[in-house]
Structure 1
Amino acid sequence: MNRPLVISDCDEVLLYMISHYRDWLGEEHGINFSMDSHDFARAMTRVGTNEPVAQEDIWRLLNLFFDSQMHRQGPVTGAVEAITELQRHADVVVLT
């Protein structure tokens, strides 16, 4: 059987991630995350000093978030139903 293949990102397509990441950074690590910045590295600054977070800390924090905070992420409205419907007609792969 030949079925189409649908490949989807997960973050902000199927699960809300950024707002939960922002909240966690502030609550647990004293870091502001500017949702207005298009530069992920410059979006993260330390509360009180506005110093940018070091590049190596950015990746460490992102990995820590994914390892420990998946329960904070909820489905994007309509995503579960859409993926369910797509699976009826295609093979679906979700990447992150």
Structure 2
Amino acid sequence: MDAPLEFDVSHIRLQDRPLIVCDVDDVVLHFFAPFLAFLDGEGSEFLPRSFRLTGNIVSKTSGTALEEKDVHRLIDSFFEAQEQWQTPLDLAVDTLGEVSKEADIVFLTAMPPQFWEQRRRLLDRLGLAYPLLASLQPKGPIVRSLHASRTLPVAFIDDMAHNLHSVSEHVPDCLLINLKPDSIVHRMAPAAPAGIPEANEWSQAAALLRAHIVS
């Protein structure tokens, strides 16, 4: 199956019920922990000096920071092989399965679109056969296109502050949930805008979603 175009959401058919738009990396699938293991196999390591990957991924032999193009090459290689590395967060599969009985779910992953097929296979294998959009563009306009003029409840789940801020600007009535693992990179990440509820695990996110869906 060909991957859908990056900005094309016309293939997604929503039912007459609430919508949940959900990030994937470090929200549904572990990203940073397996990426560190992947780097080790490539002769590199991440030094927790700041939030950025570029400048903090170094050669294990020389200690020299990799150039930006080499960091992007490693990230692309990881996404190419993601099916061998990435596993679901605790309770992610079961929670989304339960919530999907009451709401539509769409995955919106910040990943180069050329790796859509690999992620589609991985999600399907895990029983997460919800529509998938892969884009490196701001998420707010995409969520707005999905939700359009619907008056039903809408929620957005992400681990990164800039994505939550983008959606808050474009879909003001959207419930925002900052769900993130306790990783060294997330501890250094910018804080989410004030007032956005945080969830450290899917059981907490589920309670927030159910309260919003039935409100």
Q: What TM-score do you get using the length of structure 2 for normalisation?
A: 0.41
Aligned with 1:95 (options 78, 86, 108): 108
Deviation of 1:35 after TM superposition, in Å, equals 4.9
Unaligned runs of 5+ in 2: 1-14, 110-215
Q: Which residue of 2 aligns with 1:53?
A: 66
Are the counterparts in 1 of residues 55 and 65 from structure 2 also a CA contact under 8 Å? yes
User: RMSD across aligned C-alpha pairs, in angstroms?
Assistant: 1.6
Deviation of residue 37 (structure 1)? 3.3
1:79 pairs with one of 92, 105, 110:
92
Greater helix fraction, Structure 1 or Structure 2 = 1
- Within 2, Cα distance between the matches of 1:36 and 1:85? 39
Aligned residues: 95
Name 1:6's counterpart in structure 2: 20
> What's the counterpart of residue 15 of structure 1?
29
Larger mean Cα displacement after TM superposition, 7-16 or 43-52: 43-52
Structure 1 unaligned blocks of 5 or more: none
Shift of 1:49: 1.7
CA spacing shift, 1:79–1:35, aligned 2, 3 Å: farther
Give per-residue Cα distances to partners, 1:13-55, cap 9 Å, x unaligned.
111111111111111x110123563112122111122211111
Structure with larger RCO (C-alpha < 8 A, sep 6+): 1
Deviations 1:74-96 (A, max 9, x none): 11001001111121111111122
Per the alignment, do residues 35 and 5 of structure 1 end up closer, same or farther by CA in structure 2, a change over 3 Å counting?
farther
Q: Which amino acid aligns with 1:71?
A: Q
Aligned residue for 2:28, secondary structure, equals coil
Match of 1:70 among 73, 80, 83: 83
Sequence identity (%): 28
Alignment-derived partner of residue 26 in structure 1:
40
After TM superposition, the runs of 4+ consecutive aligned structure 1 residues lying more than 6 A away are none
Q: Distance in 2 between matches of 1:35 and 1:83?
A: 32
The higher radius of gyration belongs to: 2
SS in structure 1 of the partner of residue 58 of structure 2:
strand
Structure 1 residues 68-77 or 29-38, which shifts more? 29-38
